[in-house]
Amino acid sequence: MGYVLDTAELAAGQRVEAVNAAMLYASAPCHVLHEDPAGAVHARLEVWEFGEANIFTHRSSGIRLLRTAKLARQDAMPVVALAVQQHGDGRIEQGGHQRVVPPGELLAVDLSAPYDYSWSGDGGAGALQIPYDQLGLPLDVVRRASAELARSPIYRLVTGHIAQLGRDPAGITADPAAATATAAASIDLVRALLASAARSRRHARPVFAETLLTRIRAFTRLRLADPELTPAMIAAAHGISLRQLYKLCAGAGLSLEQWIITERLHRVRQELTRPDRRHLPIATIALRWGFRDPTHFTRRFKARYGVTPSQWRQRAQQVH
């Protein structure tokens, strides 16, 4: 289920109040201060259930979200938000730390504590909001890590993963079973990020061991379009041998090569439904996702989905 507010559907005089009310639902209670409340205020907010977490995306005109100590005492929401700035520079102040966050970078906000988050002009971010009890880490570890995320060796991996969640939350949450599994993996990635960023050996070592396969799968998904993606490259990126990689996958009942093919087929299938891809030949889309032989690709696609790629595209166009 998703909640969406788009002020384009509202009269100008209703927009400020609508955004303020929506923010109470979407995140922790805070003061919502618009950069130019009498001007062209616009916003689009989305909140999507995502297993034990949720995905929150927000794009709007200049805004400041101020959670005071008084509000924090009244409502101790035990949630941490990991957000990737999508548009404009974000500015976050929490726990005595200040940071400017450019597009493409990751920030963590403890929603149970005071904070000051803002951007000027058109801006936006996509966040994964996770209850603390799902992370299995002490509060002090999470708060210490929040100011040092870039220290983690998996900072870029988790940043890329959360950015993907923010780009298409509706599609990612459309299949409840798949969304639940992906949410659990996402929480594992965030747990590993926070444990390593806090430099807590007590927590980082076991968490990294527990989440190795999750990190491998996330790493691979981000590189599905790379023609150089191979099991050897995946193993090297995680500091393990090829034999260890295959043993880990076998223990989880996973055939790595078949899983990569399945993931690539899924990406092609998604692109074939997109109106902005209608002008592209199917072979071109398939090549983008690592299928060099069109005949081999068509055979794989039909075996997986029961229809040819062209039949699938035609059906999608009829629906839209």
Least Cα distance to 218 among 176, 181, 258 occurs for 181
Secondary structure string (H, E, C) spanning 163-191: HHHHHCHHHHCCCHHHHHHHHHHHHHHHH
Separation of alpha carbons 211 and 47, rounded Å = 27
Residue 228: the pLDDT is: 83
Assign 12 to helix, strand or coil.
Answer: helix
3-class state of residue 64 by DSSP: strand
In angstroms, what CA-CA distances link 150 with 117, 142, 155, 158, 228?
A: 19, 14, 6, 11, 27
Annotated domain spans of the chain:
2-210, 259-319
Nearest-5° Cα angle at 174, 299 to 229 = 45
Q: What is the 3-state secondary structure (H, E, C) of 77-93?
A: CCEEEEEEEEECCEEEE
| pLDDT of amino acid 318 | 75
Give the pLDDT of residue 147: 86
CA pair distance 286, 157, nearest whole angstrom: 24
Cα-Cα-Cα-Cα dihedral of 2, 3, 9, 15, to 10°?
Answer: -160
Reported as half-sphere exposure (CB side, CA atoms, 13 A), residue 127 has a value of: 24
pLDDT value at position 221? Answer: 85
Topology of domain 259-319, CATH? Arc Repressor Mutant, subunit A (1.10.10)
The tokens for 257 are 């090569």
Per-residue pLDDT 10s for the chain (320 aa) are 588 899 998 998 899 999 998 888 888 888 999 999 988 999 999 999 999 899 999 999 999 999 998 888 776 568 899 999 999 999 999 988 899 999 999 999 998 889 999 999 999 999 999 998 888 888 888 888 888 899 999 999 999 999 999 988 988 888 888 888 889 999 999 989 998 898 766 666 777 777 888 888 888 988 888 878 999 999 998 888 999 999 989 888 889 999 999 989 988 998 898 888 888 999 999 999 989 899 999 999 999 999 999 999 988 877 65
CATH number of 2-210: 2.60.120.10
pLDDT at 76: 59
Helix axes 256-272, 212-222, angle to 10 degrees: 40
What pLDDT shows up at residue 114? 93
- Residue 189 CA to residue 192 CA, distance in Å, equals 5
What was the pLDDT predicted at 212?
85
